[in-house]
Structure 1
Amino acid sequence: MSALGGMHDVVAVLPHRADDMARLDIVSERGEPIVTVIGKYNHGKSRLLNELIGTSVFSVADRRETVKLAGSVHGGVRWLDAPGLDADVGTEDDRYALHAAWLHADIRLFVHAAKEGELDAKELALLAELHADGARSRRQTLFVLSQVDQLADDAELQKVRDAISAQCPDVALHAVSSTRYRKGVDEGKTLMLERSGMPSLRAEIDTALARVPEARAHEAAMLSGDMRDELARLLATLKQSLADSCALQRRQRMAFDEGLLRIIDKVSGDIESMLNALGVDHASVPDGARDAYAITAGKLERAHIQNAYSRACIEIDSFLAGQGVIGLPSEQQTVARALNNVMVVVMGVSVKFRKDLNRMFGTQAGRENMRREFTHYYERSADRQALAALIADSARAIEASEKAARVLDETA
């Protein structure tokens, strides 16, 4: 399949690889080789292209003409003219030019006007980056020293050559004059044609074009291989993170289950001991009207039972708070803040009779109900929800990364 067909799947996982995926689509398709001319504004790039392809396709003027990437197919080759570097103070043209150099280019013609002398810092940096990329991707960069006819003589040309060679010792210079070439063509002057340097440059370009299929195959393998390796590392990290999160989730749940069981057993034992120590069930005897302001055995026992219940709730609540189980989930909360508490919802507020204490703490069903309800709210707590979300996100990221890896395997 086309790399572009699955581009979004890969870029969704590796967003910083968007340009690499776009380039992979270009080199994976069997389209025309692409020659891109780059260089500073008014260095003769457009005219050079016109003479190379033998027709005036690209606009030529003293003022800025090329403001976006312009292209034309001739002789089975796509020729691209990029805006001049530094032509736009807002750097919009620079962005187009660099985009052309890095994305739309099998062969780069780096053009520098001879009249400017040595390269400036920006040109040097770009040229170094292009050659470093060429060593890695096998894309080719040819240095074109343009407009040599504007120099006084060959001695001045040699000075410029020497200055640039001192800056870039390993770069071969192709000195050309589009003006001489056009005059040689129009006037049929063979010597003028040769002195223009254009036939030699064109021969060099043809040699470079012959290497493009092999270079593209190498670049496609390199790009897809690099991204597959990155995805493999990412997948390993994601899977380890998922495994760690799941292990943490299990450990936390095990610790909670064990701790909750211990605290319920403990307070249930305390309640049972307290109930067994009581004699006559005074609490179940209702108070009469004459007992409204009196201290009765029933009132004392009910207060005793309520205190025991409160102590049990405090112990359970202390354990739950340590586990992050305090407030209710947002959808269960009410305007009464005091009621937005797990203990209140599960246990209630008040217990004053033996039968209620025994039902809650003295039976297996009661203890199991507490365990089930508290576990429910534990899983709905903020920390557990965040961990569950992290696990779900990791699982989705793994799925997306595996899909991206399949896309790259299909482009290989």
Structure 2
Amino acid sequence: MSNAQREQAARDVACVLPKRTHDLARLQILIDDSEPVVTVVGKYNHGKSSLLNELVGHEAFAVSDKRETVALSDRLVAGVRWLDAPGLDADVGTEDDRQALQAAWLRSDIRLFVHAAKEGELDASERELLAQLGEDENRTGRQTLFVLSQVDQLADDAELRKIGDAIANQVPGIVPNAVSAVRHRKGVEGGKALMLEKSGIPALHAALQSELARVPEARVRETALLFGEIGEELRQLKAAQDQTLHVLKHTQRQQRADFDRGLKTVIDKVSGEIEAMLDALTTDHALVPDTAKDVYAITAGKLERAHIQIAYSRACIEIDAFLAGHGVIELPAEQQTVASSLNSVMIAVMGVSVKFRKDLRRMFCEASGRERIQRDFTHYYERSADREALAEQIADTEAAIVATDKASAALHRMDA
């Protein structure tokens, strides 16, 4: 798999598991199987660059009393890549912090956490970062070595022990590596073996070599861990999505079945009542047209038509009550008119009025009429806000499942 393909695969997974973006970036580094990386992290002006120069054996990193390291600096020496990160407090909350954290969390196999002895106890931000590094060490196996730097600036060994004890109280179990880059440089330049030993650099270097020897094994473990965690998270997500989809579709089917059954019951009821009413009638006076002189008179035809309209209205009221209970009230937006009183599902399906027996019989007493009413109201039921929202949930869940399947396949390709 090419780098471009691996990056695309990682993006496919990150689209589904955005909180795993950094783990996926770390995986790509592990898969590349490049040289081991040692990163120095800590606050500004705590002697990180000087320490690195002594560890690599030459002036590879800029050292100054003023702020120097403003971006990740790296050197490849003897098969090891050394990173000098910006101070964690060099430019708080901006790019420098992000560069330092990237080095600590993403690129490094071994972290050297540097704290200047002259500063005494750790501050809150240092304790928090050390705790996070410790948690990461327990999870991934990546090591963090605590370095107490610039010990030559202390008055004596008693003060060094006092500071070491104070830090040990703050972070139980911590093992400080006390060093002095100044003493080591003087020992190298003057050929003074005792000063070299007292600088603590040889002991730290030996500890580093021991940890570097474990990096290949640690990387295998971390790679398996990350693939395992991400794969399991995808499996759990897929299972949850499948269950959600099952519940949503069951709800959709059950709601539809309840609606179909309930609507048919209501239609059958009102149809039976109307048919009984129509069968009880005799002469159809509604068919006799009114004359001009009957405009203001009460005629048999008017009474008949009013009777029919009342029966129709009662049937509509009963159906409408059922529909309202299922959220079927207003027409879809594209069917609505400026006359708001006409924007009802009842009017769209049933019309405004019925005046003749034949119309009532056609609508309620004939199978085709009842089927039309059932079909048309069902159409608007499916267009109701609740049903469309449920359909959208189902579509979103199905799309999420497709994305999760794609992410699982992408992760598998990365692990191939």
Matched to 2:408, the amino acid is A
**Alpha-carbon deviations, 1:328-372, whole Å to 9, x = none?**
011111111011100101111011011211111121111111111
Unaligned runs of 5+ in 1: none
**Alpha-carbon deviations, 1:155-212, whole Å to 9, x = none?**
4334433443444453332222222222333334444333322222222212211111
Where in structure 2 are the equivalents of 1:90-129 lying within 5 Å? 90=93, 93-129=96-132
| SS of corresponding position for 2:27 | helix
- 1:271 is aligned, of 269, 274, 285, to 274
| SS of corresponding position for 1:78 | strand
- Structure 2 match to 1:136: 139
Where in structure 2 are the equivalents of 1:363-374 lying within 5 Å? 363-374=366-377
Contact 1:4 1:21 in 2 (8 A): no
Over 3 Å counting, the alpha-carbon distance change for 1:158 and 1:303 in structure 2 is: closer
Superposition deviation, residue 91 in structure 1: 6.0
- 2:245 is aligned, of 231, 242, 257, to 242
Over 3 Å counting, the alpha-carbon distance change for 1:290 and 1:68 in structure 2 is: same
- Structure 2 match to 1:288: 291
Q: Which moved more, 1:347-356 or 1:188-197?
A: 188-197
**Alpha-carbon deviations, 1:276-319, whole Å to 9, x = none?**
11212221122222222222221111111111111111111111
Q: CA RMSD in A?
A: 2.0
Where in structure 2 are the equivalents of 1:150-169 lying within 5 Å? 150-169=153-172
Where in structure 2 are the equivalents of 1:11-30 lying within 5 Å? 11-30=14-33
Q: Distance in 2 between matches of 1:241 and 1:185?
A: 68
- Structure 2 match to 1:382: 385
Matched to 1:368, the amino acid is E
**Alpha-carbon deviations, 1:213-250, whole Å to 9, x = none?**
11111111112212222222222222111111111111
Over 3 Å counting, the alpha-carbon distance change for 1:174 and 1:290 in structure 2 is: same
Superposition deviation, residue 92 in structure 1: 5.1
Contact 1:109 1:143 in 2 (8 A): yes
- Structure 1 match to 2:207: 204
Contact 1:28 1:216 in 2 (8 A): no
- 1:149 is aligned, of 136, 148, 152, to 152
Q: Distance in 2 between matches of 1:332 and 1:77?
A: 71
Contact 2:45 2:67 in 1 (8 A): yes
**Alpha-carbon deviations, 1:256-291, whole Å to 9, x = none?**
111111111111111111211121222112222222
Q: Distance in 2 between matches of 1:90 and 1:12?
A: 26
Over 3 Å counting, the alpha-carbon distance change for 1:89 and 1:408 in structure 2 is: closer
| SS of corresponding position for 1:276 | helix
Q: Distance in 1 between matches of 2:162 and 2:143?
A: 26
Q: Distance in 1 between matches of 2:371 and 2:104?
A: 70
Q: Distance in 2 between matches of 1:321 and 1:114?
A: 76
Matched to 2:49, the amino acid is S
- 2:187 is aligned, of 176, 184, 188, to 184
Q: Does 1:230 align with 2:251?
A: no
- 1:68 is aligned, of 59, 71, 75, to 71
Q: Distance in 1 between matches of 2:331 and 2:60?
A: 72
Q: Distance in 2 between matches of 1:241 and 1:169?
A: 45
Where in structure 2 are the equivalents of 1:52-67 lying within 5 Å? 52-67=55-70
Q: Which moved more, 1:225-234 or 1:158-167?
A: 158-167
Contact 1:165 1:171 in 2 (8 A): yes
Q: Distance in 2 between matches of 1:150 and 1:308?
A: 102
Where in structure 2 are the equivalents of 1:349-360 lying within 5 Å? 349-360=352-363
Q: Does 1:409 align with 2:412?
A: yes
Over 3 Å counting, the alpha-carbon distance change for 1:142 and 1:282 in structure 2 is: same
Matched to 2:19, the amino acid is H
Q: Distance in 2 between matches of 1:160 and 1:269?
A: 95
Superposition deviation, residue 53 in structure 1: 2.1
Unaligned runs of 5+ in 2: none
| SS of corresponding position for 1:103 | helix
Superposition deviation, residue 36 in structure 1: 0.8
Q: Which moved more, 1:34-43 or 1:181-190?
A: 181-190
Contact 1:37 1:45 in 2 (8 A): yes
* TM-score normalised per structure 1: 0.94
Superposition deviation, residue 255 in structure 1: 0.7
Matched to 1:272, the amino acid is E
Contact 1:37 1:81 in 2 (8 A): yes
| SS of corresponding position for 2:107 | coil
- 1:316 is aligned, of 311, 316, 319, to 319
- Structure 2 match to 1:78: 81
| SS of corresponding position for 1:84 | coil
Superposition deviation, residue 43 in structure 1: 0.7
- 2:345 is aligned, of 342, 346, 356, to 342
Matched to 1:66, the amino acid is T
Matched to 1:343, the amino acid is M
Q: Distance in 2 between matches of 1:90 and 1:180?
A: 34
- 1:300 is aligned, of 299, 303, 307, to 303
* TM-score normalised per structure 2: 0.93
Q: Which moved more, 1:338-347 or 1:152-161?
A: 152-161
- Aligned residue pairs: how many? 412
Contact 1:28 1:217 in 2 (8 A): no
